[in-house]
Structure 1
Amino acid sequence: MTRTVLIVGCGDIGSRVARLERAEGHGVSGLVRSAQTAARLAAQGIRPVAGDLDKPDSLAGLKGGWATLYYLAPPPASGADDPRLAALLDGLPARQLPDRVVYVSTSGVYGDCGGDWVGEDRPPHPQTGRSRRRRAAEEALTAWSRRHGVTAVILRVPGIYGPGRLPLDRLRAGVPVVREDESPYSNRIHADDLAEVCFAAGWRPAAEGVYNVSDGHPTTMTDYFYRVADRFGLPRPPAISLEEARRVLSPAMLSFLEESKRLDNGRMTRELRPKLFHPDLESGLAACFNASGPALPGISAR
């Protein structure tokens, strides 16, 4: 029988996962809420399944029967939990539940760790609203999976970079960074490699529980911006003190500066054994440069 999967949140990463599944001859469906998205997915060989996570009644007709459900949709922008995930889980037919759910969470659930190396046994301590909603979703999925005997795999993902996912606009605008001696540690994963990790989590028989996802080579956030600027031939941004940054940077930017951690990806590499094409920032940025070309005006990336 052909393996079939459902992808919820079939954007950039979801589309990459779909390509990996289809390359293995598996059937892929994607949850959609608009005709435009349905047409886009159909053009990629993904079967559209109608449903809106913000309208639970629209999920009542889900047929089920998927081997793996990949959940990559974000929670709402406010609130204490994730009603979207809850609506989907409630809408799944009880007699045709997936064998496995792969949930893409965030490493932000750990909060600030003072630059320590962090393994999956570190107790979560989310400090922002978005991280608290992700943590609530993790707990809800874990409880649901135990009740129904479904394997749950939770991937705690840091910053994602790749073509179209680089801070080129910020660098062109000259937005300052924190001095390197005060800059927090940050972790990252190339978009191609995140898709590989998701795919491995979806079919490795022993995959279960929580996995930190990263390339295993954390650097300071300022070092990341400098290296992107150097690779694309842009001026390095001005450096300011953390104290000054708290006065001039946006709350969203500051939220990233208040957390420092280095993710231990040992469990991921041992158990999921994904194929990492870009195991460090140098190789990943080189691939981005080759895909995008020089940082000419008009190339937008975030």
Structure 2
Amino acid sequence: MDTLQAKLPPSALIAGCGDVGLRVARRLRALGREVTAIVRDRQKAAPLAALGVRPRIEDLDAPGDVGDVPLLFWFAPPPDGGERDARLRGWLAAQRGRIDRIVYISTSAVYGDCGGRWIDEDEPLAPRSARGLRRADAERALLDAQAQGGAAAVILRVPGIYGPGRLPVERLRRGLPVLRAAESPYSNRIHADDLAEAALHAAAFGRAGRAYHVADGTPTTMADYFIRCARLLGLPEPPQLGLEDARRALTPAMWSFMEESKRLRTERLREELHFSPRYPDLEHGLPACLAAEDTIRTKGVA
């Protein structure tokens, strides 16, 4: 089988170079690839350059043509409002060069509620939340562009992302409640490092027009996640509320997660992308988050 090193092109462009984008950029640089990152804030240019990444200053909502690109990682979120991803659609329409492949981070919210069933990537899309509708629209835009001779689109349907610096510390300190474990929906997770590595595998091995679940394959409940985090961080466990009390107490955004329950199958991730998560469950992944943060503090980076 071809290796990841052999399958990746010599250069890549990253649109939306936040936490996950930076992890991908570092990994690509370690593999000897040239990396360009689109950023709007000029203050982010110097830190990127220090990593060996070439910054391209651009507002994705007022895009220019980037020319020929062998590989694009689109990690930029949709705009906050509406049910369409006007940002991605506008950016694609502005391009005149050839883009060979796009790896896009979508969300498992495109399925809506599945009643806790195990589902694979052939599950019909039935988004209920605004975030799910916008991501489903982005998937359609990419597949439509591919059908018209555009870039080969590889779609990663991603659930909750956790990792160093991404744990719900403030939420736990504030004592915000959760829906009690017995009524809490199933939720799926992936460590940020595993997501970044999976994105590289998608670039190397993903099939055009194909969607892949990127999850650790060990779903638990939302309540379980927050309780585990509290115990790990030495913080009080969050109050657990019944269904009706939780509906009144939780924000609409948080409640939207409570209305969707599903368990993601990951056979396609493992078999087609040749990728198995380094952190197969929260038991392994959460302690690694603290270990990484301790290392950063010791080196004086944070």
Is the TM-score greater than 0.5? Answer: yes
**In the alignment, which residue of structure 2 is the partner of 1:298?**
none
Alignment partner, residue 114 of structure 2: 113
After the TM superposition, which residues 1-302 of structure 1 pair with which residues of structure 2 at under 5 Å, given as runs?
3-56=10-63, 59-60=64-65, 62=66, 64-93=67-96, 96-204=97-205, 206=207, 208-293=209-294
Name the Cα RMSD after superposition. 1.6
- Structure 2 CA distance for aligned equivalents of residues 235 and 179 of structure 1: 15
In structure 2, the gaps of 5 or more residues are 1-7, 295-302
Distance 1:265 1:287 in 2: 22
Q: In 2, distance between residues paired with 1:207 and 1:216?
A: 23
Question: 1:184-218, CA deviations, whole angstroms, 9 ceiling, x for partnerless residues?
Answer: 00000000000001011111264651011100000
Is the partner of 2:12 in helix, strand or coil?
A: strand
2-structure distance, mates of 1:34, 1:238: 39
Partners of 2:177 and 2:240 within 8 A in 1: yes
What is the SS of the residue equivalent to 2:212? strand
| SS of equivalent residue, structure 1 residue 143 | helix
Structure 1 stretch displaced more, 223-232 or 104-113: 223-232
Paired residue for 2:4? Answer: none
Query: How far is 1:3 from its partner?
Result: 0.9
**Counterparts of 1:127 and 1:227 in 2: how far apart (Å)?**
28
Q: Structure 1 stretches (4+) deviating beyond 3 angstroms? A: 205-208
Give the alignment's TM-score, normalised by structure 1.
Answer: 0.91
User: AA paired with 2:90?
Assistant: A
Matched AA of 1:75? P
Q: Distance in 2 between matches of 1:13 and 1:110?
A: 23
Distance 2:275 2:197 in 1: 6
Q: Which amino acid aligns with 2:287?
A: A
Label 1:41 to 1:109 Cα distance change in 2 as closer, same or farther (>3 A).
Answer: same
Which amino acid letter does the alignment assign opposite residue 71 of structure 1?
Answer: W
- For the 8 Å contact 1:201–1:207, the answer to whether it is kept is no
Question: Structure 1: where are the runs of 5+ without partners?
Answer: 294-302
- Partners of 2:17 and 2:86 lie apart in 1 by 18
Local SS of the residue matching 2:139: helix
- What is the distance in 1 between the residues matched to 2:59 and 2:251? 32
Instruction: Classify the secondary structure of the residue corresponding to 2:275.
Output: coil
> In structure 2, what residue type is equivalent to 1:81?
R
Please give the secondary structure, in 2, of the residue aligned with 1:112: coil
Residues 207 and 271, structure 1, Cα contact 8 Å, conserved in 2: no
TM score, norm. by length of structure 2: 0.91
Secondary structure of the equivalent of 1:226?
helix
Instruction: Output the amino acid matched with 1:72.
Output: F
Tell me, in whole angstroms, the C-alpha distance in 1 between the residues paired with 2:23 and 2:211. 22
Distance 2:278 2:211 in 1: 22
